[in-house]
Amino acid sequence: RRTRLSALAAVPGTLAFYESPKRLAAALADMAEVLGGAREAAVCRELTKKFEEIRRAPLAELAAAVAEAPPRGEIVVIVERGRSENISEADLEQDLKAALQTHSVRDAADLVAGLHNAKRRDVYQLALKLAKG
């Protein structure tokens, strides 16, 4: 499981897992270790049923909560997409300058934010600064 999780860590999208209640605590502990304990996630139980329950928290907190009180029923774990931590502002500026030559400020910000998996708002503010000066 850890090998597959490490391969999924680089996926730029949201991750969804169907998990057995018996394996949930171990799976969440592995996810917290491999994907990062601070990564936001949701444990969804009995979706579309009478006793539907959704718990949202960082993976480390969910792992601890489930270890204390394991849920019953059908479980889906949703893990937010990962953020790349090693993007420098210089890299963003370089890509934004290139994108601004052929795109509007908004489109360039969308393009570069998607490329680097960065927050669109931050990239847009940088794009505005570059476009003005």
> pLDDT tens, 7-41?
888 777 889 999 999 999 999 999 999 998 999 99
- CATH architecture of structural domain 2-79: 2-Layer Sandwich (3.30)
Instruction: Tally the C-alpha atoms within 13 A of residue 45's C-alpha that lie toward its C-beta.
Output: 13
In this structure, what token pair is assigned to residue 77? 């774990």
pTM value surpassing 0.85: no
Write the pLDDT tens digit of every residue in 96-122. 999 999 999 999 999 988 888 788 999
Token pair belonging to 56: 């949202």
Domain regions of the chain by residue span: 2-79, 89-132
Sheet holding 53-58, edge to edge: 15-19, 75-79, 40-45, 53-58
Whether residue 98 contacts residue 60, with contact meaning beta carbons closer than 8 Å, is answered with no
* Helix (H) or strand (E) run with residue 18 in it: strand 15-19
